[in-house]
Every structure is written in C-alpha cells, then in structure tokens.
Structure 1
C-alpha cells in the first residue's frame, strides 16, 4: 500500500539501481533516465489470479479509476493445458499443472499480429520449440506458444466477455500492448509502453524502496495506535 502522508517526500526521492545489458546503447540509457523521473502513467499488473490497471497521477493512485479483471496467469496455464490436448499431451494433476506453468513461462510469447502468426505456424515449423519433461521425455509445441497468451486480448477464446486490462511477463507483450492502445487512443497522443525485465518482482522492489525511506516511518502502524483505534487505523495510515 502507498502511504497517504508527505507524498512529495518519497515520490522520486529514493535511490534507484538499474540493470542493463553489456554494450547497452546510449539511446537506451537516455530513455531509461527519462522514464525513471515520471510520476504519471498507468500501471498494468497481472498476477496469478487477477489483473488490475491502476492510473497514477503525480505519484497518486486514482482509486475511482482502478479496474479489475479475474483473468490472469492461472487462466493462461489452464488454457495451455487445454490446447495441448490437441497434440495428444494430457496434463491433469496439480504437479502436471506446474509443469505446464513452467512451459508457459519459458516458451510462450505474445504475437504482434495473431492471425498472421497463426497462418505462419500452419505453413512453417519456425515457431516450434522442444520442452523436456521431468522424466526426460521431450515434447514439441508450436502455435500453442502464442495461442495461450492471446486470451489476454481475446477473452472470448476461453468464454469470457470482458477485455483484458493487464499484461503478463510473456515476450512481445510491450509491442502488442503498444499496438492495441495506439489503435484506441487519439492520434495526437503518444503511447509508450514500458515492460522492464524485472517486472515480475516490481511489487516487492517498490515496497522495499518505500519501506526503507525515512519519511515512511510515520506511516507504520504501532501496537499502541492499533490498541487505541482498532483495525480502522489502517484507513488513516494507508490507502
């Protein structure tokens, strides 16, 4: 949660350390420097069971505009388990679900143009990849790699009506999100999608930074405060 008091004291004041690849171009460094200082944007977050989109304005979340969708990583795993049966691969137990989840995280990707990618997969084996199961057996998957995360953009593929609001960690998600949002936004609006490689741990990283700030200490809930006000103290300290 984000503390309510002294917003200006902790938004943008924390020290940050960023990773980069060897020989990272100067242009990439400059773009990263620009992004670090921004305090307005939209956070798209997709976990295991739920997805959220959270608008941020000048460091503040806008609760009235937050959207939630019960479609996330677990549903993608279920979808992959289902479409793998088309190749004759059956995964049904809890342990086998974990195998499929690992397969999804290692091999799935988001197609920039789904229909075109589908046609390519029918005429070429370029999208096929091998995956070694724990028992040493090797299986091959192809179009399933991008059909799985496509449900984020076409929930109707698994019987859902609503459109997705948040991305997972699949490769290609930034380009696809940029394409989809650009098509919806006014032509005068510049769209920039940022998908840092460490986004799987963004919640932990952000919480760690926030909790380490000296200005955040006043936002802790002490036992004395809890004894005096009860559970409702959380509403005055956090939002």
Structure 2
C-alpha cells in the first residue's frame, strides 16, 4: 500500500563481489591460479556467464561427481582454457548458506520467511503472493525456483507444521521480471521524475 513495514526489514550483506571472491577460492582449490585483484573482473565474467543456483544441491553435487554434464569451458584473456563443474553452482550457494563465507547469518530464503512472518498477520498471505526479485544477484538461472522451493519447505515445516493434507504450493508466488538487474535504478528514476515537479 505504498509504505514500509518497519518491523519487517532484514539485511543479507552478501553481494555479487562476495560470490566472485568465493568463486576465486573454489578455483584456487582446483589448482587454477588467480590474483584476487588483477583477475577479479575475469572471474566476475566467468561467474555471470557460467554460474547458476542449484534447484537440488545434493543432486547437483552428485551429478558433478559422477558425470561431466555440468562441465563448461571458459577461455581466459591470456588464451588459457579452464573448466568449471561444481563451482558453477557452489559459488552462488553462499546466498542460501552464508556460513560458507564464515558468516553467522541466515540465508536468503530464511530471511524472506522471517521478514514476511514478522509482518502483521493480515498482510502475510498477500506478501507470500507478491515476492518480486530485484538486483543483479537474482539473475542467476535457478534463483527464483530455488527460493520458491525453500520458502515452500519452510512454510510447510513451520506454518503448516507438516500437516499431510496441506501444501504451500499455491501460497507462494515469486515474480522474476527480466529487467530486474536494474529495477532499483529504474524505480528510483521513475520516482525522481514524479517528485521533480512537486
């Protein structure tokens, strides 16, 4: 309704640069040599081109171990080619498991769940139906479906308390607009244009 619910705000201090740094760490473990500062832009490009969010983390890990279907090659500016497999989904996993970065905070699904459930009871159902992804970090393929899956799981465990005849399938709706990478800027520009004449 056009106003902020002050008690329903949370912050997850993980951004794209943190995921890039984590990808550098994962690639170093594989034996690839990258300089944290000089090669940062290159690894960022690798991240943006090849990384995705796993729908089912255990299944993806098993697939990465047992097969080569997840292997993708990337040619570096110096002509060398590197191959990525599990790193493609392990790097963005920090959004759901910040402990991988040594942070003692809940991941994005837990944060969204907590925020919605701290809102007034009458607003919660509407909020679950109006989750809109925004920002570059939400652009990973699979991010929206994984977030929805995790929220459904939390809802069924903590709200429905495992009632077998109930499901969260039609409760949660996540919108992933194609231009969400710049939505905050676009929203700010529209707002600035609206208030410039007042």
Deviations, residues 88-117 of structure 1 (Å, cap 9, x unaligned): 112124220111111111110000000110
The residue aligned with 2:153 is 183
The residue aligned with 1:193 is 174
Instruction: Write out aligned runs for 1:112-151 (5 A).
Output: 112-151=55-94
User: What TM-score do the two structures reach when normalised by structure 2?
Assistant: 0.75
User: What TM-score do the two structures reach when normalised by structure 1?
Assistant: 0.62
- SS of 1:65's partner is coil
Instruction: Write out aligned runs for 1:3-152 (5 A).
Output: 58-152=1-95
- SS of 1:140's partner is strand
Structure 2: gaps of 5 or more residues? 110-136, 160-166
The residue aligned with 2:138 is 168
Q: Distance in 2 between matches of 1:60 and 1:165?
A: 22
Give the CA deviation at 1:204: 1.3
Q: Distance in 2 between matches of 1:99 and 1:164?
A: 27
Contact 1:67 1:165 in 2 (8 A): no
Deviations, residues 181-237 of structure 1 (Å, cap 9, x unaligned): 111224466101112221110111111222222x5532xxxxxxxxxxxxxxxxxxx
* Number of aligned residues: 160
Deviations, residues 117-166 of structure 1 (Å, cap 9, x unaligned): 00011111111111111112211101000000111111222222211237
Q: Distance in 2 between matches of 1:131 and 1:100?
A: 10
Q: 1:206 aligns with which of 187, 194, 198?
A: 187
Structure 1: gaps of 5 or more residues? 1-57, 219-239
Contact 2:26 2:87 in 1 (8 A): yes
Q: Distance in 2 between matches of 1:63 and 1:72?
A: 23
Give the CA deviation at 1:64: 2.9
Give the CA deviation at 1:59: 2.2
Deviations, residues 25-84 of structure 1 (Å, cap 9, x unaligned): xxxxxxxxxxxxxxxxxxxxxxxxxxxxxxxxx122223321112222121111100010
- Greater percentage in strand: 1
CA RMSD of aligned residues (A): 1.8
The residue aligned with 1:217 is 197
Stretch of structure 1 that moved more, 194-203 or 165-174: 165-174
